[in-house]
Structure 1
Amino acid sequence: MIFKSSKQLMAGSIAAALCVTAVSLDLMPIRNFYATSDQNEQYYIDGYHYEFFNMSQIGECSFEPDNKGGYSASWKGVEKSNFYKGYTFEDMPRSPESVVINYDMDFAPVIDTASPDGSACIEAYGFLMPQSQLYNIEYTIVDYQCNFKGDKFSQASDMQKLGSYDLDGFTYDLYSKKSAKNIFSLETGTAEYLSVRQNSGIGSGASVTLRRSIDVTKHIGEWNKLGMENSAVCSAVLDLCAMGSSGKAKLNSCDIAVTEKARETFSEDGCFYDVKQDNPASDYTMSPLDGGGFSATWEPLSTTTFKKRKSFNDSPVEFAKEDCIIADYDISCSAPGGDAFGASVHGWLDDSANDNWKDEFNIVLGRKNNDFPMNYKDIIDMQNVVELGTLKDNGITYRLYRSIPLHMYNMTGINEKPPYARYTYWSVPEKYELGSARVSDLSGSVDIKKHIEAYMDAAANVEKEDFLYEVSLDVSTAYLGSDSRGGSADVNKFDVFVGNDISRNSKVSFYCWSGDEDASYNMTPNSSGGFSSEWEEGDYKSFVKKLESTSEIKMDKFTVDFDADLEIVADNETEWALCASCKSGKSNLEYYVFECYGENSVISTDGSDAVPYTFLKDHSVIKRSSATINGEKYDLFYLRYKVGNGGIGGYDIFRCVSIKRDAAVKKGDTIHLNGSIDWAKHIMVWDAVGFPTTSVDSIDSCEVFFETNSQKGAFSLNSCTFNVAAKEAPHDLFDILMGDLNSDGTVDMFDVIACRKVIIREDYTGYNAKAGDYNGNNKLDVADLIMLNRFVLGLADA
């Protein structure tokens, strides 16, 4: 989420600026010389930050990490020097539940006679993030000290004593003050908290070994009792601070035990669920919901973004080649009070998936107390927001924008994880405000591809992107500084569909049935779109995979691919068939294609019987024919099937049927079946032979079923794919197949139809006229049509 209050931005900048993380250079220090010529060396070893600082380079200092978790240090006649080991802002988890510093140190301080007020301290030091985020807290917990007088230091620093507290058998005095705004914090200021353990003094010239634990989070709990705002630890280091003194120290070991708050992370239905928390002092929960959603809650003063995201990193989506990219959502949210709240569809775009710098987009679904970018002209440093026009999607008018995002920079670079946005595109509904209702509901669909194409059309002067590699639903809340009450949201649904729009409106189911209530059979779907089935005894049994769609499936772009194995115990009465059927709820006309069947299912092979196949015996044959489709001979039937007894409620169903000729299998054989049914070709052949198919060009359901009356056996539909947007197979335009006018690699009834169209319209566009010129007169005429038709019907050779 780009929107952050300036106070939130500055809060992160202070902690980052004052706790600089150094890079690892094989123990070679980074030396920084500032305007005051301070000496500074930084190391990054085994996940810990080591740092040495000597103010104005007064006196002599040495600092040497030992690469074993410790260091050796010495100082002489310094004005102020610090020796650190610990976790800085970037290293510390965002919401630690417990932070404990365990250390073992040999310590030998010396107070110079020339500086009787000098001191040396062993202390925990760092920064806290208060829940309000209105300021930052710099804290110090003095564990051991030589000549450090807390009361005098506090008076000199204008600090007020808040009181004392007991912890782990020791008594501590707590002092505090609120500092003015400074170069690092132009708006927020910094509060300082100093805690000094009583009776912790070490005499000058003494040499002691210190072994201690400092539980930072326990101290914070005591400070809260004395009036400090609830806060989270942002950094924690063990600091040896020397002022006007000399001495030496050897840190033998130091580890900082950080216990993160237990969070449930999960991934379901191919999506990832995660949280970005900008205010670690405010708690939240996130848990999965049935159906692929999640439930989220957040405390007052929270700045948190909950995400359900679908990643395409492994195979970025080239959105221009997809029929549709659509997100469906259903959200219920409760966001009372003055906090900002928003829900949006977010994504990342690029010309590849390997670059850290990408473009992002936000399609706003609804917001409360959050106007950006609608009010961008009133926001400082937002002059680079550009209006791109409007877009209508699912009845909603969106205003489109492009902005250059603000990034948080510190001394070490960008203070955020990649990817980084070059440009952010925005789609903001004209009516997006959730209003004052305590509970708000958001539901609908977003055509993501339409929005992306609108962004790219407007990106004439900037880099256009080709690939989509992540989409997420973002539910965000931000603290605005008044009337904060927390809230909750339930994402009941968020689904992303890439491909054809029909796929998101379709349902696939499996079922089986038998005419015998006592029949014994079972059916188990597999992971490849098919199923396995077994049976023992019983009457007719059917095993079915069914596709249903609320969208119309166009028959001219629909194919079914299948692969199957069959093993049955057969006798002279055994019948079986493998078939696919298509239907429409708007018509009483149905389509069937039989690809394979048992030999006992054939009554007659010479066509003398009115019904030559057993599975047609309950039908009346209105018309019959035959044709070659994809090189295979099919018997064609137009049938009437009566439902009911002809009385009230009875009606007729009409069926166009293709049965592959000579596809009968002998009883007892174990067979393997595979193939592809191109529904468009069967529809056109039925139309060409006079079956009344023109009234319906689309269907809403398709079934692939195996049916048998065998007493025992097993059938496995190894795989079955419904291709609802099938593309034509590629073909070689230079390799001419005689009769193949449409250049699809086969000579069939489609070519007869094409030839008829060319002759009637005298338009050769899209057809290979040379392939249809049977008589060699360099044109297509009726003689060519007759010869082509006879070949397709099997009455002549090519």
Structure 2
Amino acid sequence: MIFKSSKQFITGTIAAALCVTAVSLNFSPNLSSYATSDQDEQYYIDGYHYEFYNMSQIGECSFEPDYEGGYSASWNGIEKCNFYKGLTFEEVPKSPESVVINYDMDFEPEIDEKSPEGGSRVEAYGCLTPQSMLYNIEYSIVDYQCNFNGKNFAEASEMQSIGSYEVNGLVYDLYCKKAPKNMFSPDAGTVKYLSVRRYNGIGSGACVTLRSSIDVTKHIEEWNKLGMEESAVCSVVLDVNAWKSCGKATLNSCEINIVEKEREAFPEDGYFYNADQKNPVADYEMTSLGGGGFSASWEPLSNTTFKKGKNFNEDPVDFTEEDCIIADYDLSCSSSGGNACDVAIHGWIDDYAGDMWKDEFNIVLARKNNDFPVNYKKIIDMQNVVELGTVNDNGRIFKLYRSIPLHFQGYGNANEQPPYARYTYWSVVENYDMGTAENAKLTGSVDIRKHLDAYMEAAAKVEKVDYLYEVSLNVSTMNLGTDSLSGSAKVNKFDLYVGSDMGRNNKVSFYSWSDAESGAYNMTPNGSGGFTSEWNESDDYKSFVKKLETTSNISMEKFSVDYDADLEIEADNDTEWALCASCKSGQSNLEYYVFEAYGENCVVNDNTLPYTFLKDHAVLKRNTAIINGAKYDLFYLRYKVGNGGIGGYDIYRCVSIKCDAAVKKGEAIHVSGSVNWAKHIMAWDSVGFPTTAIDRCEVFFETNSPKGSFSLNTCTFNINAKEAPHQLYSGVSGDLNMDGAVDAFDIIACRKAIISEDYSGYDVKAGDLNGNDRLDVGDLILLKKFVLGIGNE
């Protein structure tokens, strides 16, 4: 045991591609009406987009979703109509591994004698995004048809036959039409693919039940073999397409099964790690290096942003109260040919907490393989770009800009997702070139607060900062043409410090220790400031630790540790466990321990050493105290390291053990609380225990249980904890420290407040015993008499 042993993207023309039938998509949960010459009804039900379209409202049509995954539809005397169910654009993952449509439909097509050229078909329909992103692809896979000849249709549509292929034992003929050169054409920028299954005809007047599966991904693979550029699905619907005919279709069921390409987004010690890809085809990989770093690699044309950062949405950082927002970074980039790489610190700020409209900032640190223009305004696709001057940060000059982002309604009339940026602020370093080296390195520190202050000083009449919501280091790749090459990056470090100036010098780590075999136990940080641990078949002592180290002493008067934990153990009569916080110094042999919870077996009937974790210690002094309303046993201990020979020495320990905190075997164990180190230091000082400066703190769990798990759900080291406002009144005369009791601790509090004239954290009203509206020596004398039981006051 530690205590015992002292071991220390989609382009804008895609929407037009889907709308070849002039359908306007709107992801509305209810019926949508439009003042157009076409009839268009749309629904959004259980994650699927349903739509009925009747060109020019000719003939009679009906469409009715059953709200159970299907619909009923009919048409008569129409010019052209469509009935959709599927997933469109934002509903489709960016990098689907496979897309398969499974459906069950009752289909009754009929040819109108007045229009023998009419017909209908059942097809998979949608759009693809090619890797180059230079155009869009509209596709149709005809599964069943009535009076539809694919070859004749292709010739009439000026499509070229590019071959045939087989999928799941069925043969398909493939036709293609390239994007027209005339950019004023409604099909400009769109390549069309038509795949028609052979021997799939249904006679007029027949009533058939279609149970089919269309593996869109396998079709795409075959199209690639026949010359289509590698592409990814960005919309897919099951479409009943009818023209100049009659009929009915009842969709009994339709499921579109999409398997996403595995993209790991992982949290580590309060930071998020993720990648945002604009090109859904080009591949990339992001892997944790452990210890706060990650590696990234990308294919040509990937347009991916790799991020590590912190999100404060649940508890926004009050910008007005923090004097330090600093980031340290150390990374390298390897990017060749026409592939560019940008490195920037990005964040979201706000002056209205909870508002969806926020401001964002980008501190551009470097770019590799591409030049910034002389005037950065030329590469920002924004409106109203203005220059805000410069700022000097650690000897580097940054040019400052502010722009107003262009906001737009997304594809299919879907709005872009919040947060929405009102303004975007830019800092661009003058010497931005990362160099031509294959493995260019970049390291340094950024005073983010200085940049934000500079923005606001230059644009004070426009904005101010009240809250900080997110900060991240972004490594962004950009393709500069079809001849781009792949690239990679390695981020060794990105540390963000928010709070006191000394915060940037802190190091937080996790470790475990045991005499047991290494495979018998494990420990994993949970990304929320804590960790999870498990052990099996080992009755050796095991310790799991979160550790804080600083390069300067910690002010104990402002230091606290908050924790929340869950424990499940297999217990017997010899099982021990404890949850403890400790403070130490590399320059002193005096250590501090506060035991917050422990197993019932740790309590023994020994008045000298009533707790098992005091074994091997000599008790020098002993006392009790009420701290934050809870009773603690206080011990001043000596522990001998070594056997008295060469290298042996003594360690002294001040220990607080929460009384009545023992947990019985078999009980569900959940503990949470806060260790206010100032109160414990005050308690030890009041009973004559020595005190010293400290520069490190640990929160650890230790046990000899043979099997179990422990989760430190959250654990926060509050180095510069805010003092309680002194205007709070405990309601008890003499209770300066507001712990619910009037005792020796209040005498110490009164004496310190009078000497330093710093009343923060103390209840002055409770301490004003002589009624002169201030805290003075007279109050101290009266308080001493009360505590010592002298006199009647």
Task: Settle same-fold status: TM greater than 0.5.
Answer: yes
Relative to 1, partners in 2 of residues 1:82 and 1:510: Cα closer, same or farther, differing over 3 Å? closer
- Aligned-pair distance for 1:97? 1.9
Matched residue type, 2:437: A
- Aligned-pair distance for 1:340? 2.8
Query: Number of paired residues?
Result: 686
Aligned to 1:324: 324
- Aligned-pair distance for 1:330? 2.9
In the alignment, is the contact (CA less than 8 A) between 2:391 and 2:398 conserved in 1? Answer: yes
SS in structure 2 of the partner of residue 437 of structure 1: coil
Relative to 1, partners in 2 of residues 1:330 and 1:210: Cα closer, same or farther, differing over 3 Å? farther
- Aligned-pair distance for 1:286? 2.5
- Aligned-pair distance for 1:508? 8.3
- Aligned-pair distance for 1:136? 0.4
Aligned to 1:625: none
Aligned to 1:64: 63
Q: Deviations over 1:191-245 (max 9, x none)?
A: 1112223333344x331415232222222111111111011111122222233x2
**C-alpha separation between the residues in 1 aligned to 2:717 and 2:132?**
56
In the alignment, is the contact (CA less than 8 A) between 1:286 and 1:296 conserved in 2? Answer: yes
Relative to 1, partners in 2 of residues 1:253 and 1:441: Cα closer, same or farther, differing over 3 Å? farther
Q: Deviations over 1:270-324 (max 9, x none)?
A: 3333332221111222333222333322222112222334222221111221242
Aligned to 1:496: 496
Aligned to 2:279: 279
**C-alpha separation between the residues in 1 aligned to 2:107 and 2:182?**
38
Aligned to 1:308: 308
Aligned to 1:102: 102
In the alignment, is the contact (CA less than 8 A) between 2:109 and 2:246 conserved in 1? Answer: yes
- What aligned pairs does 1:23-38 form with structure 2 within 5 A after superposition? 23-24=27-28, 26=30, 28-33=31-36, 37-38=37-38
**C-alpha separation between the residues in 1 aligned to 2:294 and 2:158?**
50
Aligned to 1:172: 173
**C-alpha separation between the residues in 1 aligned to 2:752 and 2:93?**
70
Q: Deviations over 1:130-162 (max 9, x none)?
A: 000000011122233333333333233222222
Find out whether 1:462 has 2:462 as its counterpart. yes
SS in structure 2 of the partner of residue 178 of structure 1: coil
- Aligned-pair distance for 1:456? 3.0
**C-alpha separation between the residues in 2 aligned to 1:722 and 1:241?**
63
- What aligned pairs does 1:54-453 form with structure 2 within 5 A after superposition? 54-57=54-57, 59-67=58-66, 68-78=69-79, 80-103=80-103, 104-113=105-114, 115-167=115-167, 168-180=169-181, 189-203=189-203, 205-211=204-210, 212-243=212-243, 245-269=244-268, 270-369=270-369, 375-379=375-379, 382-410=382-410, 413=413, 415-453=415-453
In the alignment, is the contact (CA less than 8 A) between 2:173 and 2:195 conserved in 1? Answer: yes
RMSD: 6.2
SS in structure 2 of the partner of residue 433 of structure 1: coil
In the alignment, is the contact (CA less than 8 A) between 2:556 and 2:678 conserved in 1? Answer: no
Q: Percent identity?
A: 49
**C-alpha separation between the residues in 1 aligned to 2:144 and 2:476?**
44
Aligned to 1:21: 25
SS in structure 1 of the partner of residue 91 of structure 2: coil
Q: Which runs of 5+ in 1 are unaligned?
A: 513-523, 530-543, 563-577, 602-613, 617-649, 661-673, 686-692, 706-717, 759-767, 775-782
Relative to 1, partners in 2 of residues 1:118 and 1:465: Cα closer, same or farther, differing over 3 Å? same
- Aligned-pair distance for 1:703? 11
Matched residue type, 1:70: Y
**C-alpha separation between the residues in 2 aligned to 1:753 and 1:91?**
63
Matched residue type, 1:97: E
**C-alpha separation between the residues in 1 aligned to 2:171 and 2:512?**
73
Matched residue type, 2:249: K
**C-alpha separation between the residues in 1 aligned to 2:560 and 2:144?**
80
Q: Deviations over 1:739-765 (max 9, x none)?
A: 99xxxx99989999999999xxxxxxx
**C-alpha separation between the residues in 2 aligned to 1:12 and 1:414?**
14
- Aligned-pair distance for 1:550? 1.6
Aligned to 1:624: none
Q: Deviations over 1:616-639 (max 9, x none)?
A: 9xxxxxxxxxxxxxxxxxxxxxxx
In the alignment, is the contact (CA less than 8 A) between 1:120 and 1:240 conserved in 2? Answer: yes
**C-alpha separation between the residues in 2 aligned to 1:545 and 1:118?**
73
Q: Deviations over 1:440-470 (max 9, x none)?
A: 2333333333333333333323243311222
SS in structure 2 of the partner of residue 438 of structure 1: coil
In the alignment, is the contact (CA less than 8 A) between 1:13 and 1:408 conserved in 2? Answer: no
In the alignment, is the contact (CA less than 8 A) between 2:132 and 2:482 conserved in 1? Answer: no
Matched residue type, 1:107: E
**C-alpha separation between the residues in 2 aligned to 1:257 and 1:479?**
32
**C-alpha separation between the residues in 1 aligned to 2:136 and 2:339?**
21
SS in structure 1 of the partner of residue 107 of structure 2: strand
**C-alpha separation between the residues in 2 aligned to 1:198 and 1:508?**
64
**C-alpha separation between the residues in 2 aligned to 1:559 and 1:116?**
84
- What aligned pairs does 1:678-717 form with structure 2 within 5 A after superposition? none
SS in structure 1 of the partner of residue 219 of structure 2: helix
Relative to 1, partners in 2 of residues 1:295 and 1:17: Cα closer, same or farther, differing over 3 Å? farther
- Aligned-pair distance for 1:504? 4.3
Matched residue type, 1:22: N
TM-score by length of 1: 0.67
Relative to 1, partners in 2 of residues 1:728 and 1:182: Cα closer, same or farther, differing over 3 Å? same
Q: Deviations over 1:586-616 (max 9, x none)?
A: xx9999999xxx9999xxxxxxxxxxxx999
Aligned to 1:40: 40
In the alignment, is the contact (CA less than 8 A) between 1:16 and 1:90 conserved in 2? Answer: no
Q: Which runs of 5+ in 2 are unaligned?
A: 1-8, 514-522, 532-544, 564-579, 595-605, 610-617, 621-646, 657-674, 701-711, 736-741, 758-763, 771-776
In the alignment, is the contact (CA less than 8 A) between 1:181 and 1:189 conserved in 2? Answer: no
In the alignment, is the contact (CA less than 8 A) between 2:330 and 2:442 conserved in 1? Answer: yes
- Aligned-pair distance for 1:89? 1.8
Relative to 1, partners in 2 of residues 1:510 and 1:323: Cα closer, same or farther, differing over 3 Å? farther
SS in structure 2 of the partner of residue 468 of structure 1: strand
- Aligned-pair distance for 1:11? 4.8
In the alignment, is the contact (CA less than 8 A) between 1:13 and 1:409 conserved in 2? Answer: no
Relative to 1, partners in 2 of residues 1:271 and 1:73: Cα closer, same or farther, differing over 3 Å? farther
Matched residue type, 2:25: T
Matched residue type, 2:266: S
Matched residue type, 1:21: L
SS in structure 2 of the partner of residue 175 of structure 1: strand
In the alignment, is the contact (CA less than 8 A) between 2:311 and 2:469 conserved in 1? Answer: yes
Q: Deviations over 1:509-553 (max 9, x none)?
A: 9999xxxxxxxxxxx9x9999xxxxxxxxxxxxxx9997522355
**C-alpha separation between the residues in 2 aligned to 1:559 and 1:183?**
67
SS in structure 1 of the partner of residue 418 of structure 2: coil
